[in-house]
Amino acid sequence: MHFHHYTLVHLDRWLQSEHSGTRIHRCFSQNRNELVIELDETFLRVGCHTPLTFIVPSDEYAKARKNVVELFPQLTGAKVLNTRVVPNERTWIWELSDGFELVFKMHGISANIILLQHGVVVQLFNSQRAEDLSYEETPGAFHPEALNQSVEHQEKAVLDALRSVSMIFEKRFAKYVLDRMDAGVSFGEAVNKTIEMAKNDSFYIAKDREKAVFYLFPPDASLPSIQVRGIVPALQMFLKCHYQMSAYRAQFKAGDKLFKKPFEKFTKVHASYQKNIDQLRSERNPEEIGHILMANLHAIEPGVKKVKLADFYQEGDITIKLDPAKSPQDNAAKYYDKHRQRKAKLTYLEDQIGELEEKLLTAEMDLIDFRTLVPPADLVLTPNGFDPEQLKAMKQVTRKLASAQREEARDKYPFRHFKKSGYDIFIGKNAKNSDELSFKFAAKTDLWLHVKDVPGSHVIIRQKPGKDLPHEVLEYAASLAAYFSKRKTDTLVPVQYTPRKFIRKRKGDPPGLVAVDREKVIMVEPLKPE
């Protein structure tokens, strides 16, 4: 729980000292569950989602060109008159002009931002939390008499005692209180000293296994950590570390799965092929049996199920199974046929295992390259965040990961597939499938095509790095796009085309519908594919 009551106390002190009387210029959201408030000289990022809730000031904020939603328009130009932290609660309240109040309720899974006017709720940031429509400011319980109790020197006992004082206290407070008690002070005195410590202007960001954690107190010596002075730089550093670790952890997990999967698959198939090859080579050659039968036709009685003959390939005799319904010559022919089948199968398996060994080697090298990365738990924390060299190494592998994911998507999202002059052309089968083709399968540099102004399938031409796309390939793909559209019966059809990076989905767009930022148009006749 990094967002403690005392974190808000520090933020409140910062806002009142640095930005007293500031005005709200706008409120907007461009990431799910995150609100950005633009003030006179700073921005405030507020995250209302699990596993992380946060309020982090920022000197600048890069607003996206798309998917931006304006919120709380009533507050444009409103002046911040006063702020306060609700006693013993994780709630921060801004008193604004025109009778407005903005409530930041930082309660983890139930976090929300509530706008009131003259004490009445008028809007919620998260409208699904209907219980906040009846929000009333309520201080958290605090029982000072519980500070006088006698408490065992055990972390659980201290935590239970702390929670009988107030529910704002949690495990990290309990540990720090216990350390004070172990130094010879009473429970009550240890709590008061810990509260004073929480008001200090030094904060700590620690790495606990695969997480970045914000501390009001020095963490365990066993945890890598950095100390930051000032609530604003401390929260900025924490959020930076949190996102660095989260991205690294997700990419490492995805990479481990994606690079390990083909290696394990090719290893398994290779072992199966090798087992079949070894088995075929170890079996008696049917051709030899056919030769033995042909050399002993006179000695084989008709209608017998097996015969024992001298083996002139190996020392001793051989017992040969026969089909009693066939003549000795036909039985020999059956063994010659088995020999041809065995030889063909062996040739096929040997050819396949040669190709497979190349794929296995590539997959193994990719996996070895990936495993040179440090696991998330070993990522090094530095005073400027996690080790930039380790993050850079992950970015390099991520490029290979993205390519592998696109290849995997071919099997996961099947599309119509055509080839022209060595170029792959993919066509969506329906609206949803077209979205998957364009946004989950295609690379940003691939060429995207679609018939202009009418429903139709998305078409992707897989680009070749460093090569110009031949005009006949563009024309062929455009003709296919025309055929797989509502204008397939027209004589001449306009088809728009652009690199995939210039198309995007807008919020609320139905499957298949996209916005095109740049385009060219080619006129073609619809072409029915063979």
Q: Encode pLDDT of 122-161 as tens digits.
A: 999 999 899 999 999 999 999 999 999 999 999 999 999 9
> Residues of the chain whose pLDDT is less than 50?
1
Task: Provide the pLDDT for residue 50.
Answer: 61
Are the CB atoms for 424 and 442 separated by under 8 Å? no
Task: Provide the pLDDT for residue 1.
Answer: 41
Task: Provide the pLDDT for residue 413.
Answer: 64
Mean pLDDT of the chain: 91
Strands 112-117 and 53-58: unpaired
Give residue-wise pLDDT tens across range 290-320: 999 999 999 899 899 999 999 999 989 999 9
Are the CB atoms for 324 and 378 separated by under 8 Å? no
Are the CB atoms for 199 and 9 separated by under 8 Å? yes
Give residue-wise pLDDT tens across range 199-235: 999 999 999 999 999 999 899 889 999 999 999 999 9
Task: Provide the pLDDT for residue 395.
Answer: 87
Q: Which residues 6+ apart lie within 8 Å of 78 measured at CB?
A: 23, 24, 96, 97, 98, 100
Q: What is the 3-state secondary structure (H, E, C) of 283-336?
A: CCCHHHHHHHHHHCHHHCCCCCCEEEEECCCCCCEEEEECCCCCCHHHHHHHHH
The type of residue at 441 is F
- Count of residues making up the chain: 530
Task: Provide the pLDDT for residue 412.
Answer: 61
**Tokens linked to 294:** 């042909």
Strands 34-39 and 80-85: unpaired
